[in-house]
Amino acid sequence: MTSAAPVVIVLAAGEGKRMKSATPKVLHRIAGRSLVGHVLEAAAAIEPAHLMVVVGHGRDEVVAHLDEIAPWADTVVQAEQHGTGHAVRLAVEALAAAGALGDGPIIVLSGDTPLLTGGTVNELLARHRDDGAAATLLSATVIEPDGYGRVVRDRDGWVDRIVEHRDADEATRAIDEINAGMYAFDPADLLPALGRLTTANDQGEEYLTDVIGLMREAGRPVAALRVPDSDEILGVNDRVQLAEAAALMRDRINRRWMLDGVSILDPASTWIDVDVDLAPDVTLLPQTSLLGPTSVASGARIGPGTTLSACEVGSDADVRHTWADLAVIGPGASIGPYSYLRPGTRIGAGAKVGAYVEMKNSSLGDGAKVPHLSYVGDAEIGEGTNIGAATVFVNYDGVEKHSTVVGRYVRIGSDTMLIAPLTVGDGAYTAAGSVVTDDVPPGAMAVGRARQRTIPGWVERRRAGSDSARAAAEALAESPPPVEEENR
């Protein structure tokens, strides 16, 4: 058996009717990656010389996706789906035409098996080379084999043939070893077998499984690698199976992180994407989702009820009941509960963002605080500054966004409107309830509010007979207001 580098063919042309979706089946996602993306990641473990993806249904979307995540992959179009054998034949012909076929093993993988691991693909290749077989297939023993092709072995344990469920008799259907639909082939055996495929079956398609029987007829050995974890070969054909695969992937990811020193209090409600990076001694509380390339440093505590997407969290930070997207949270910072950090938000070390605070494209300096009920947009806030409750950074004039710069150790009074563009100097104050439209020099107090006007007796005159009028009359009877002296 040659030691030449393998080529990989990924079958991703199917329509996936049972998904009932406008999105091609292989582009549905679990754990932050498309189904086909997971398969390509597994295939990369054997460092193939070439990788060919067979596309068909929704091919423009699939090709665009492949260009984004795997620009080194080539594609071939199966315009009409005439079976897996037909798809592999098209891929082999395209590889040969490009001079990329070589004499190394041909690995065929299914584009809808996201739980397949690179370790298993490596084992498949190694077994194929060690056994010197014409073909080596992945198989698994399952409790409920209905719907799967059965692996029929001879007395010596070699694979004799594969029989699709719909074409199997009762005795064959009783076999619990199923074909995973993924193979390693010797090209010298595969190419002539592909040329002999027919459509004489229940579906009228060219079954790739039929090449096994053809190889056996030619006296060539066919081996099988039985995977110990049958979950790896599960395909996704409908939304139920998509959810099942996602849950299995969740459990696999969570287990790995817990073994690496991450505390996950409720693994069943904690979802971590494959590109997340966690340090030891991170704690994840229930109902936490970490999406995209999120990273969390040691000692940080995330959750409960928190979603972080493509965020960076520093050591010992505490993030509770928060939604954050493309945000940077510094070490020792405290976020939440019920905070919303939008893209471009940067929180300094030891800073605090409290309840019902929304921030967008803004930086909060070290030790600064926005404790509650505020909106901060397009702003730069210096270290040690405190933003009072119900403060709004008014950044949009209806046409353009404008920025506000608040210096160090500033005290912004509650219910302040900061009308951008604006600069508040270091150490300045604003009075509660102010509307600030002009720059505030360092150390100054800005007061931007009208004097209060009180009109005695207004309720009695204008709302006579109301509950308010009665309450006011009772209060006045108990404690009448002081009588002002006449002007002298």
Give me the residue label for tokens 């309830």: 433
* C-alpha to C-alpha distances, 465 to 69, 257, 456, 459, nearest whole angstrom: 72, 68, 17, 10
Domain 7-233 has CATH 3.90.550.10: yes
pLDDT category at 73 given cuts 50, 70, 90 is very high
Given the residues 50, 65, 86, 372, select the one marked as catalytic: 372
262-446 topology per CATH: UDP N-Acetylglucosamine Acyltransferase; domain 1 (2.160.10)
Rounded CA-CA distance 55/12 in Å is 5
Nearest to 176 by CA among 223, 226, 133, 241: 226
* 28 is annotated as an active-site residue: no
The structure's pTM equals 0.91
Domains in the chain: boundaries: 7-233, 262-446
- Average pLDDT for 284-302: 98
State yes or no: pLDDT of 486 exceeds 50.
Answer: no
Rounded CA-CA distance 193/106 in Å is 14
Question: Strand 177-185 to strand 135-141: parallel, antiparallel, or no bridges (unpaired)?
Answer: antiparallel
- Average pLDDT for 231-256: 97
Close Cβ partners of 49 (under 8 Å, ≥ 6 residues apart): 4, 5, 6, 7, 100, 102, 104
**Cβ neighbour number for residue 31 with a 10 Å cutoff:** 21
Could you tell me if 276 and 290 are in contact, meaning their C-beta atoms sit under 8 angstroms apart? yes
Q: What is the pLDDT of residues 103-121, one digit of tens each?
A: 899 999 999 999 999 999 9
pLDDT category at 144 given cuts 50, 70, 90 is confident
**Three-state DSSP class for residue 273:** coil
Structure tokens at 92: 């082999």
Rounded CA-CA distance 210/202 in Å is 13
Structure tokens at 421: 């563009």
**Confidence (pLDDT) at 147:** 82
Could you tell me if 307 and 323 are in contact, meaning their C-beta atoms sit under 8 angstroms apart? yes
State yes or no: pLDDT of 286 exceeds 60.
Answer: yes
Could you tell me if 430 and 413 are in contact, meaning their C-beta atoms sit under 8 angstroms apart? yes
The torsion region of residue 394 among left (phi > 0), alpha (psi -120 to 50) and beta comes to beta
